[in-house]
Amino acid sequence: MSREADNALAMQNAICRRLMQAFGLSEKHATDYAIQAMGALSGLCGGERVYIPKPGRDERVTGTQLKNAWDGTTACRDALCQEHSISISSFYRLLGEVKGG
């Protein structure tokens, strides 16, 4: 089995386990739903690299929050990046999204 097939099967199994935990489904029903979910994902983005953010990414810091907290120093920038788990390039990208910033 190829690495890609192994990864797809691992994702299907993870979806199955999550369905069983979240909804109390039997393994058979959860597997059926996981297979359908993988089929849908394959149809939407099969063959493409897709970034799936970790949970909580929608609660990330905004450019405005960074602009207000940053004192202009490298040390402060690095501390903010570490605090919010963002890269330096993401820091500057978020700042660039602030109007007038």
HEC string for 71-92: CCCHHHHHHHHHHCCCCHHHHH
Question: Tell me: the pLDDT tens digits for 66-78?
Answer: 999 999 999 999 9
Query: Could you tell me which residues come within 8 angstroms of residue 37 by beta carbon, excluding any fewer than 6 positions away?
Result: 12, 15
Residue ranges of domains in the chain: 3-45, 57-96
Please tell me the chain's helix, strand, coil percentages from 3-state DSSP, rounded to the nearest 5: 70, 0, 30
Sign of the dihedral defined by the CA atoms of residues 10, 11, 16, 19, in that order: positive
Confidence at 93, pLDDT banded by 50, 70, 90: very high
Question: Tell me: the pLDDT tens digits for 28-61?
Answer: 999 999 999 999 999 999 888 888 777 665 567 8
